[in-house]
């Protein structure tokens, strides 16, 4: 078999492309966090996600410290693919190579997880944020958030991220991103507002989107405030103890 | 004086223990009832299911304390009553929304239907015995005594939740409202595919569920930490009803009858703890006595060249 000139050019090109990830194979996660990726568009993560990786509430920048490695890598892939849209984060994700994604996901996952104290059984008030978090709204097929996001919102496995440790601003933004907003017809004094399509559609098997879609604006605020209010404890938690529902 | 008391109690203790043992075996002898509930009446068009009282309506007195304790036990059975639980399950895992959700065997549809007479063996089954059955089989544990604090609190919780339900009148929403068996039967291989797509994310490829530290969050569906071979959920028809109404979590009523039966059969074609009623280690005998006539189940049936019902520890 002889290769045509164009074919062999393509062959050379793809061979060198293949070699690329090998070069950055040794990508240093901590260096990406502090100085950014090889492509300058991949800005240093810490400039937004905080020096300690715990995020910055005011900017709506989420905590990354202690999130599951697979979850972080999945989110970066989702930003790249447009299943999750965000004007700040999408170009950054697109500028990260595969090896860089893997390295930075590993580095953030190795940082301390959010540490929430386990208390006695809570007695939430109906209609409060705590109620949604701990009881849900089963008449609307909404399980209690802690059933998927873990008792005290600490997260479960690789697919269910912690809500504890995230700011109210960020949690609200994500719920709205899944929900989008329905169109508003023109009123007497107001113009019609076009619908905003959801900007996040990356939940496995649609487990999260129908929940966000069914929450009212007041409920979004209340439940976000509940999880943000869990705070972080400095006392180590004994993992052999139960967390109560 | 103190001394004699101590001596006395030392002498009495073994006696008391022997008494407890005798009571236990008497109870075990009666544990033959996780049999199927009668079919619940269908909900009349335009009517809602019974609405149990709100949590805020639990009174703030000694009774209310007991009701709250019952609710806590129902949701955190393993954490709060570990001596009675032999696996990693909690009552609420199968009786969704704290035992309030229709078609998830809600407590409000149960309490007023006991004591229940069963013609099949001419026996009467009390509400407490029914709950003891769930401890023995669903929780693979050791049932608390009828007059124990745990049983008293659970009973108070169910009683309170049934406020306003007429006695002895079957309510729509009772049990798990099983879908009819599909025309061509069920298929375990097809069920495996449904499981991989819709269930494994939470319950794991190995069916072992997921924990956070010591606490089970996604309950195990098979294996040593799940319900045992005597539990009602081991019936494919019963599991199909539960699954179709309640799973995938938050997305109930999205599986077809066929999918619900297939995936229920897949789940229940795995080993789990032995049926505590096993006679002389004889699976075939236990099948004949307790399983042959109990809905659709795979206990003692050969699947893929292996007889199910071996049990795991």
CA distances from A94 to A19, A85, A97 (A): 19, 12, 8
Is the Cβ of B77 closer than 8 Å to some Cβ of chain A? no
> In CATH, what number is assigned to the domain containing residue B299?
1.10.760.10
Q: Return the SS3 of A61.
A: strand
User: Phi and psi dihedrals of B178, rounded to 5?
Assistant: -70, 140
Residues B58 and B168 in one domain: yes
Question: Mean pLDDT across the stretch A177-193?
Answer: 90
- Which one of B54, B198, B213 has the shortest CB-CB distance to A126? B54
* Cβ–Cβ gap B75/A245 under 8 Å: yes
Residue in B75, B214, B250 nearest the CB of A211 = B250
Cβ separation A207–B54 shorter than 8 A: no
Residues of B in Cβ contact (< 8 Å) with A126: 54-56
Domain presence at residue A174: yes
Length of chain B equals 313
Q: How many domains does chain B contain in total?
A: 2
Q: Any chain A CB within 8 A of the CB of B64?
A: no
- Rounded mean pLDDT of B24-38? 60
pLDDT at residue B31, rounded to an integer: 55
- Cβ-based contacts of A245 with chain B (< 8 Å): 75-76, 90, 92
pLDDT of B36 over the 80 cut? yes
- What percent of chain A stands above pLDDT 90? 81
Closest Cβ–Cβ partner in B56, B100, B212 for A243: B212
> Which one of B141, B175, B209 terminates a domain?
B175
Comparing alpha-carbon positions, the chain B residue that sits nearest to A149 is B217
CB contact under 8 A, A147 and B75: no
Q: Are residues B169 and B191 in the same domain?
A: no
Q: For residue range A110-160, list pLDDT tens digits in order.
A: 999 999 988 899 999 999 999 999 999 999 999 999 999 999 999 999 999
Confidence of residue A19 (pLDDT cuts 50, 70, 90): very low
How does pLDDT run across A188-217, given as a tens digit for each residue?
Answer: 998 998 988 999 999 999 999 999 999 999
What element of type H or E holds B124? strand B123-125
Final residue before a domain boundary, out of B130, B160, B175: B175
Same domain, A28 and A105: yes
Task: Name every residue whose Cβ is closer than 8 Å to that of residue B242 and which is 6 or more positions away in sequence.
Answer: B94, B104, B105, B176, B233
State whether B249 and B260 are in the same domain: yes
- A119 within some domain: no
Indicate whether A21 pLDDT > 90.
no
CA quadruple B191, B193, B195, B199: dihedral sign: negative
CA-to-CA distance for B131 and B119, rounded, in angstroms?
A: 20
- Regarding whether B156 and B64 lie in a shared domain, the answer is yes
List of residues 6+ apart from A126 with CB closer than 8 A: A135, B54, B55, B56
With bands split at pLDDT 50, 70 and 90, how would you rate the model's confidence at B120? confident
Structural domain includes residue B303: yes
A241 domain-assigned: no
How far is residue A226 CA from its own chain's centroid? 18
Interchain contact B187–A (C-beta under 8 A) = no
B52-86: per-residue pLDDT in tens? 999 999 999 999 999 999 999 999 999 999 999 99
Domain count across chain A: 2
The pLDDT tens digits for B146-184 are 999 999 999 999 999 999 999 999 999 999 999 999 999
CATH number for the domain that contains residue A160: 1.10.760.10
**A90 and A170 both lie in a single domain:** no
| Nearest CA-CA distance, residue A141 and chain B, Å | 5
Q: What is the pTM of this model?
A: 0.92
Co-location of A137 and A105 in the same domain: no
Give domain status of residue A172, yes or no. Answer: yes
> In terms of residue numbers, what domain contains A78?
5-109
Same domain for A15 and A104? yes
Decide if B56 touches A, using CB distance below 8 A.
Answer: yes
Instruction: Please tell me the distance from the alpha carbon of residue B12 to that of residue A234, in angstroms, as a whole number.
Output: 49
* Per-residue confidence (pLDDT) for residue B32, from 0 to 100: 54
Tell whether B23 is covered by a domain: no
């Amino acid at each position: 078999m002889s290769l045509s000139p164009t074919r062999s050019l393509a062959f050379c090109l793809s061979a060198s492309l293949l070699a690329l990830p090998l070069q950055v194979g040794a990508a240093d996660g901590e260096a990406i966090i502090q100085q950014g990726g090889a492509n300058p568009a991949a800005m240093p993560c810490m400039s937004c996600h905080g020096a300690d990786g715990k995020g910055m509430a005011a900017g709506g920048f989420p905590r990354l410290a202690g999130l599951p490695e697979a979850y972080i890598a999945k989110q970066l892939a989702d930003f790249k693919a447009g299943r999750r849209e965000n004007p700040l984060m999408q170009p950054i994700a697109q500028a990260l190579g595969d090896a860089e994604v893997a390295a930075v996901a590993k580095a953030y996952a190795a940082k301390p997880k959010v540490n929430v104290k386990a208390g006695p059984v809570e007695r939430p008030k109906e209609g409060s944020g705590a109620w949604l978090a701990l009881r849900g709204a089963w008449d609307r097929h909404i399980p209690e958030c802690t059933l998927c996001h873990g008792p005290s919102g600490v997260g479960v496995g690789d697919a269910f991220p912690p809500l504890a440790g995230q700011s109210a601003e960020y949690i609200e933004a994500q719920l709205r991103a899944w929900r989008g907003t329905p169109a508003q017809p023109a009123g007497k004094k107001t113009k019609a507002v076009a619908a905003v399509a959801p900007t996040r559609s990356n939940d496995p098997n649609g487990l999260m989107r129908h929940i966000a879609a069914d929450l009212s604006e007041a409920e979004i605020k209340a439940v976000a405030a509940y999880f943000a209010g869990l705070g972080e404890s400095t006392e180590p938690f004994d993992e052999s103890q139960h967390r109560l529902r | 004086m103190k001394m004699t008391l101590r001596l006395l109690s030392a002498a009495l203790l073994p006696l008391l223990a022997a008494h407890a043992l005798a009571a236990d075996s008497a109870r075990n002898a009666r544990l033959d009832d996780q049999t199927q509930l009668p079919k619940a009446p269908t909900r009349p068009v335009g009517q809602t299911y019974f609405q149990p009282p709100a949590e805020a309506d639990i009174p703030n007195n000694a009774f209310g304390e007991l009701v709250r304790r019952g609710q806590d036990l129902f949701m955190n059975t393993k954490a709060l009553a570990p001596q009675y639980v032999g696996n990693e399950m909690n009552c609420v895992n199968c009786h969704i929304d704290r035992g309030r959700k229709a078609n998830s065997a809600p407590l409000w549809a149960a309490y007023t239907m006991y004591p229940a007479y069963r013609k099949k063996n001419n026996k009467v089954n009390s509400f407490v015995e029914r709950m003891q059955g769930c401890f023995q089989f669903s929780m693979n544990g050791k049932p608390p005594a009828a007059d124990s604090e745990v049983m008293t609190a659970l009973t108070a919780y169910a009683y309170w939740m049934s406020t306003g339900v007429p006695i002895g009148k079957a309510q729509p929403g009772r049990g798990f409202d099983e879908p009819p068996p599909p025309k061509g039967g069920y298929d375990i291989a097809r069920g495996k595919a449904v499981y991989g797509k819709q269930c494994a994310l939470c319950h794991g490829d190995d069916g072992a569920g997921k924990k956070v530290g010591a606490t089970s969050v996604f309950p195990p569906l098979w294996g040593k930490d799940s319900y045992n071979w005597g539990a009602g959920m081991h019936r494919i028809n019963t599991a199909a009803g539960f699954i179709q109404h309640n799973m995938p979590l938050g997305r109930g009523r999205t599986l077809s009858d066929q999918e619900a039966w297939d995936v229920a059969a897949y789940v229940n074609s795995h080993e789990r703890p032995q049926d505590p009623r096993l006679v002389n280690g004889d699976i075939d005998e236990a099948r004949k006595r307790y399983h042959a006539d109990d809905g659709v189940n795979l206990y003692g049936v050969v699947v893929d060249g292996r007889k199910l019902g071996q049990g795991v520890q």
